[in-house]
Chains A and B, each alone.
Chain A
Amino acid sequence: MFLAFIAQIVFRYLLNLPTGWTSELTVICWLWLILWGSAFVVRERDEIRFDLVYGAVRPSVRRWMAGMGALALIVLYLWSLPAVWDYVTFMKVQRTAYLKIRYDHLYAIYIVFVIAIVGRYLWLLWAALRGRAPTVAEPGSGGGSL
C-alpha cells in the first residue's frame, strides 16, 4: 500500500526534471501502481462494476452469482498463467533504455497480480460457499473518476 504513495510522490516531484530516466521511472511506477494497487489496495466496493442486476437480486441469488463469477475468473486466470509466465521470463532478453532494468523483473508484477487476483477470488468463492452473501456497495460509491 505504501508503494502506491511513494509512486505518487515520485510522480510529482521528479516529473519536472526533463531527463529520460525520470519519465522512465514514472512509467514504471504507474505500471506497478495499477497492478499492485488492483491486487492489494482496491477494496471490493471501489471496483467499477455493472451492478444494475447484481444489486437488485435477492442475497441468496447474489451469493450464487458471486460464486460463479469468482470460479470462472479463477479458471481463466489460472489457465493463462503458464503462457503468461513464458512471456514474462522471455522478456529477460531486453533491458529498459535508461535504467537498464531487465524487463522480466519489471513485468514480474503481472505474475504477482495474477496470483493475488486468483487468491482474492478463491477467498470470495469460499465466502460465497460458506453462505455469506456479498454486500452491495451503495450505488455510486465505487469507481467513479470521470
Chain B
Amino acid sequence: MNLTDPFVLSIIAIVVLSLLGLPIGHAMIGGSILYLLVAGLDMGTVAEQILNGLYSSYILIAVPLFILAAELMNAGTITHRLLDFCNAIVGRFRGGLALVNVVQSVIFAGMSGSAIADAAGTGKMMQTMMTDRDRYPPAFAAALTAATAVIGPIIPPSIPVVLYALVSDASIGFLFLGGVIPGILMGAVQAGLIVATARRRNFPIEAPVPMRDLPVITLRACPALMMPVVLLGGIYGGATTPTEAAAVAALYALLVSAVLYSSITPGGLYGSLLASARTTASIGMLIAGALVFNYVVTVENIPETLRVFLGGYDLTPLGYLLLVNVILLALGCLLEGTTILLVVVPILIPTARDLGIDLVHFGIVVVINIMIGLITPPYGLLLFIMTSIAGVSLGSLIREVLPFLLAMLAALLLITLVPGTVLWLPRLLGYEN
C-alpha cells in the first residue's frame, strides 16, 4: 500500500468526500477525476465513460419506467382493491391483517420493482389499517411492513436485478424468473412467523368476508392482478425486451388507474412523473459515478487481483458464496444498496464466475442480501421510512424487526445452499448454464 499510488489516493478521496456529505455519485466522479489527474491520464475519459456508458445501456431505461409504474399504482386505487382481495382470502385467520400484509406484498412485488415504493405506498396503507383501533402494536406493524417490503424487488420486476444484469451481463429474463421462488419463500417464512406468534400475542381476527362476495372482489382486483402476467408474459413470450416490458407496465398502470378505475387526476399524474424523474436522476448520478469508478477499477485490474488473492485460500464455491453473504450483509448495515450493487458487486463477480458459480444464482443471492441490508440497523432505509410513517422510535422498531430479520436470514441461507430454489424455474423454461 503506497499512499501516493493514484488508486489509493482516489479511494481515499471518495471515502473522504462521501463522509463530508457529498452525494455518493459526485464523490465517485470526483475521486475518479483525481485518479486520472495523478496517473497522468486524459481527464476527458470521465466524460467518455459516463456518456458512452449511459448511451449504450439500453437495459437501464427499464429503471425509470419501473419507478414510474410503481408511482402510478400508488397514486391510483389499484392498491386498495388489492388489499380488499387479500383481506377476503386470509383476513379470516388469527393475525389476519398481518397475513394480508404479507400476501399483498408478494402480489404487489409482481408489479413493482422497488421496496422503497412498496413501503411508502401500500406500506403506509397497511400501517394505518393495522394500528386502527389498537389492533396491532404500531412498532410490530411497522416492522412487518418493512420486512414484507423487502420481498418487492426479489420477485420480478425488480430494479436491483436490472442493475445486477447491467454489471454481470447475466440474462435479465432468467434472473427475473429466478427471483420468483425465493421471493415466495421469503413471504412464506414471514407468514410462518406470524402464525407461530399470533396466538401468544393474541392478534385479532378480521370479520370473515362471505364466500359469495369473493368473485366480485376478485373481479374488482383483476386488472391489478393481471399486471404480473402482462409483464412476465411479455418478456417470456418473446414479444418484448425487458425494457419494452417496463414501458408496457408503466402504460398499463396508467391505463388501469386512469381509464378503468378513473382514480388518477392530471395533478396526480404530474406528481407521479415529477417524483419518478427526480428518483431517476438521483439514481442515474450514482450509475454515472459507478461507470467512471468501475473504469478506474478495471484499469487497476482489481477484480483480477482479488481473484488471485482468494485463489490462494482454496475457496469452494459454497465457501465463497457464504463469504459474499457475510461481506454484503456487513456492508448493508452501513451503506445504501445501490452503491453496493454498482461498486462492490462488480469486483466480486469475476471470482464467482471463476469458481463456476451460476451467475443467475449468484445474482439472486446478491439481491436478497442487499434487500435485507435495507432493514439492518444502523443504516437501513426501510427502517427510516417506517419510523417516519408510523411515528415509532427506531429502537422499538429494531426490536420488532429482529425476529423477521432472523427468519429471512434463515431463508437466505437455504437459498444459498440449494441453488435449485433459484434455478429450477429458469431451467424449466429453457435456461442452460
Contact = CB atoms under 8 A, between A and B. Distances in A.
Contact of A41 (B67, B68, B281, B288): B281
Contacts of B155: none
A126 interface: no
A60 interface: no
Contacts of A77: 29-30, 33
A49 B23 contact: yes
A146 B337 contact: yes
A63 to B, nearest CB: 11
B247 A12 contact: yes
Contacts of A5: 270, 273-274, 277
Nearest to A69: B20
A130 to B, nearest CB: 18
B20 A46 contact: no
A46 B279 contact: yes
Q: Which 3 A-B pairs have the closest CB atoms?
A: A37-B281, A140-B384, A87-B44
Given A31-B54, A33-B277, A48-B282, A139 B250 contact: no
B378 interface: yes
Interface residues of A, number: 68
B285 interface: yes
Interface string A8-44: 1101110110000001001110110111111001110
A112 B254 CA distance: 33
Contacts of B316: none
B246 to A, nearest CB: 9
A31 B384 contact: no
Given A12-B250, A144-B116, A144-B381, A83 B159 contact: no
Interface of A: 1, 4-5, 7-9, 11-13, 15-16, 23, 26-28, 30-31, 33-38, 41-43, 46-54, 62, 65-66, 68-70, 72-73, 76-77, 79-80, 82-84, 86-88, 90, 106-107, 110, 117, 134, 138-146
B65 A12 contact: yes
Given A53-B19, A146-B153, A33 B64 contact: yes
Contact of A16 (B248, B254, B286, B374): B248
A37 B20 contact: no
Interface stretch (B55-63, B81-89, B350-358, B395-403): B55-63
Contacts of B273: 4-5, 8-9
A88 B47 contact: yes
Contact of B284 (A37, A69, A142): A37
What's the dominant secondary structure at chain B's contact region?
Answer: helix
A58 to B, nearest CB: 13
Contacts of B199: none
A65 B21 contact: yes
B334 interface: yes
A27 B61 contact: yes
B21 to A, nearest CB: 3
Nearest to B250: A12
B46 interface: yes
Contacts of A35: 54, 284, 288
Nearest to B286: A48
By CB atoms of chain A within 10 A, which of B22, B30, B46 has the most? B22
Interface size class of B (residues with CB under 8 A): 35 or more
Given A11-B61, A77-B33, A90-B44, 14 more contacts: A12-B250, A15-B244, A30-B64, A35-B288, A38-B284, A65-B19, A70-B22, A72-B20, A76-B33, A86-B44, A87-B47, A110-B51, A140-B382, A146-B153
Given A15-B247, A48-B286, A48-B338, A146 B370 contact: yes
Interface in B28-52: 29-30, 33-34, 36-37, 42-48, 50-51
A52 B378 CA distance: 9
B281 to A, nearest CB: 3
Given A76-B30, A77-B33, A139-B384, A49 B68 contact: no
A28 B379 CA distance: 35
Given A34-B284, A87-B48, A146-B374, A54 B65 contact: no
Nearest to A18: B244
Nearest to B243: A15
A67 B129 CA distance: 45
Nearest to A64: B20
Nearest to A114: B47
Of A4, A34, A69, A141, most B-chain CB atoms within 10 Å: A34
Contacts of A43: 278
A140 B388 contact: yes
Interface string B343-377: 00000000000000000000000000011001000
B385 A144 contact: yes
A70 to B, nearest CB: 8
A8 B46 CA distance: 26
A86 B42 CA distance: 10
Contacts of A73: 17, 22, 26, 30
B43 A79 contact: yes
Contacts of A145: 63, 67, 114, 116-117, 159, 279-280, 282-283, 338
B115 interface: yes
